[in-house]
Every structure is written in structure tokens, then in C-alpha cells.
Homo-oligomer: A and B are copies of this chain.
Amino acid sequence: MAAPGYIDDKQRLQRRLRRIEGQVRGLQSMIDDDRYCIDVLDQISATTRALQSVALEMVGDHISHCVANAVQQGGAEKDAKIAEATAAIARLVKS
């Protein structure tokens, strides 16, 4: 098993995910406290953007490492990795 493309960014990704976990707990407190709908909605939008940002960092790492390695190998592995990355980007755009 090769190391994942994000191997050198693990600490930063984990810090960001812990912050997102804190935002989700913050949402639970806002609802416990009967905070105004619009304030809760804006906090949900901020959390969604933070998650997208982690996803985009991971897409960059994946292209730089996993896809780039497959391209250097060439052949069927190259085509398969590019198709797989493109499909994952499509799911991200549509989510």
C-alpha cells in the first residue's frame, strides 16, 4: 500500500477537522439555546465551506501525488486514476 497523497499534510488536515468538529458542537449549543434560525443557518454555511476547503486541499494532494505517480507509470493505471479522480471531483461539485 502506497502512502496517501495527503501524508505530509496530515497534521494540518487533522487540526482543521478538529476545528470543524468544534463548529458542529457549536451548532448543537446554538440549537440548545434557541438561537435565531438565520444565525444557525449562517453557522451551517460556514461549516460547509470549511469542509469543502478540506476536500479541495485533499484534491490537490491527490492530483500531486497519486494521479501524478500514475501518469508517470502510464498505461491503464494512468487512465484509471484520472477517471477515478474526475469522478470524485464531480461528486464533490454536486454535493
Contacts and interface: CB of A to CB of B under 8 A. Distances in A.
Interface in A50-87: 51-52, 54-56, 58-64, 66-68, 71-72, 78-79, 82-86
A41 B63 contact: no
Q: How large is the interface on A (under 10, 10 to 19, 20 to 34, 35 or more residues)?
A: 35 or more
Copies in the complex: 4
Interface of A: 1, 3-7, 10, 13-14, 17-18, 20-21, 24-25, 27-28, 31-32, 34-38, 40-42, 44-49, 51-52, 54-56, 58-64, 66-68, 71-72, 78-79, 82-86, 88-95
| Top 9 A-B pairs, shortest CB-CB distance | A45-B95, A60-B86, A37-B62, A71-B71, A44-B55, A21-B24, A68-B71, A56-B90, A48-B95
